[in-house]
Amino acid sequence: MLFVAPLLVMVSMGGALAPAVSADDVESLISSMEAISQDANAKNEAVKQLELDLTAGEESLRSLQSDVDRATQEADEAKSQEDIYRSEINRLAASKYRGAVIDPLTNAVSAENPQNAIDRAAYMSVLTRNAQAALSQLSKATENSAVKRGSVTRAIAEAKFRQAELERQHGVLLKEQEELKTKTEDLRKQVESLSREDRLRWEAKNGPVDYSLDGVVGSNPEGMGALQAAMTKLGSPYGWGAVGPSQFDCSGLVYWSYQQQGKSLPRTSQAQMAGGTPVSRSELQPGDVVGYYPGATHVGIYAGNGMLVHASDYGIPVQVVPVDSMPFYGARRY
């Protein structure tokens, strides 16, 4: 009598022998793969957000550098004005030193005639007013120069801080990208090693259904258009970080679908769940963006009749599943 040990029954796979796996073990494997997939997808969304933050930071730094350049130019112009008025003050002071500015009594006594005295007094008055005006302008120019140079100093300090923060974020991004690569490669190997039967079970883990939009009507034209666009991508493969038109990740499908309506949505699932108008589960309309899992690490588009179209996981094509097949996080209307 031949003894067959549990879980070690050998079956033929392409001419080779491989151990058969029980249904419970397959479920355990799929559950494990799903956990890895959720972790990889969450990491993928985090990496995308970091990339967006880094790009925004670089743009902000460029804008800040423009502020530095502008403040420097304004400070130089203020210093130039200060120099002009300082020269005027020095000229007037030199005129007084040479005796041009004298008291009114001396002016009247030394005048050749009354008219000459009047003219000289008027000239002295103008000279005095000019001196006072120049002194006032010098004071303002000096103050402006100090303010502008203070702005330059602050702008440069802020730019250096931003640059250091960007370098830190870039280091974090590189680390996150390496972790994502490890996680996705691990999941990819597990998916590719599945038998055809188990691969079908993996693809069916969220209960995909055949579904059409016949009779589906939405209150939001743009949302309905986005849903229709998403439905044209049924069967398209999953790709981490992909935004179409041939591969998608979850937020990439949402992003691409709304883009076809001329509407630009945020790129990550968390950002998509932070924008738009909040919608409750009971108020869902076709085209609403639905988020799942703590932290909104997954999104799809509500397809009406309790269904959702989404890009699920690696090895699973874009498909329609029940909207409650995953832990509900929230929904947004765009």
pLDDT tens-digit profile of 154-175?
A: 877 887 887 788 788 888 888 8
Asked whether residue 177 falls in the same domain as residue 226, the answer is: no
User: In this predicted structure, what is the pLDDT of residue 134?
Assistant: 67
Q: Does 16 fall in a domain?
A: no
Q: Give the active site residue among 48, 205, 298, 333.
A: 298
Rounded to the nearest 10 degrees, how much is the dihedral formed by the CA atoms of 253, 237, 234, 266?
Answer: 0
Domain boundary, last residue among 192, 215, 249:
192
Q: What percent of the chain has pLDDT over 70?
A: 78
Q: Give the active site residue among 250, 254, 273, 290.
A: 250
Q: Does 249 fall in a domain?
A: yes
CATH number for the domain that contains residue 278: 3.90.1720.10
Q: What is the DSSP letter of 283?
A: G
Asked whether residue 273 falls in the same domain as residue 178, the answer is: no
Q: Does the predicted TM-score (pTM) go above 0.85?
A: no
**Which comes out higher in pLDDT, residue 196 or 65?**
196
User: In this predicted structure, what is the pLDDT of residue 154?
Assistant: 84
What is the rounded CA–CA span in Å between residue 108 and residue 209?
110
SS3 call for 12 = strand
Known catalytic membership, residue 298: yes
DSSP code string of 23-52: HHHHHHHHHHHHHHHHHHHHHHHHHHHHHH
Q: Does 17 fall in a domain?
A: no
Domain that holds residue 85: 23-192
Asked whether residue 55 falls in the same domain as residue 138, the answer is: yes
Q: Give the active site residue among 205, 267, 310, 333.
A: 310
SS (H, E, C) 51-86: HHHHHHHHHHHHHHHHHHHHHHHHHHHHHHHHHHHH
Known catalytic membership, residue 250: yes
Query: CA-based angle 76:82:88, to the nearest 5?
Result: 145
Q: Does 57 fall in a domain?
A: yes
Q: Does 15 fall in a domain?
A: no
pLDDT at 77 > cutoff 50? yes
Kind of pairing, strands 298-304 and 307-310? antiparallel
Known catalytic membership, residue 170: no
**Which comes out higher in pLDDT, residue 140 or 302?**
302
pLDDT at 15 > cutoff 50? no
Domain boundary, last residue among 128, 162, 192:
192
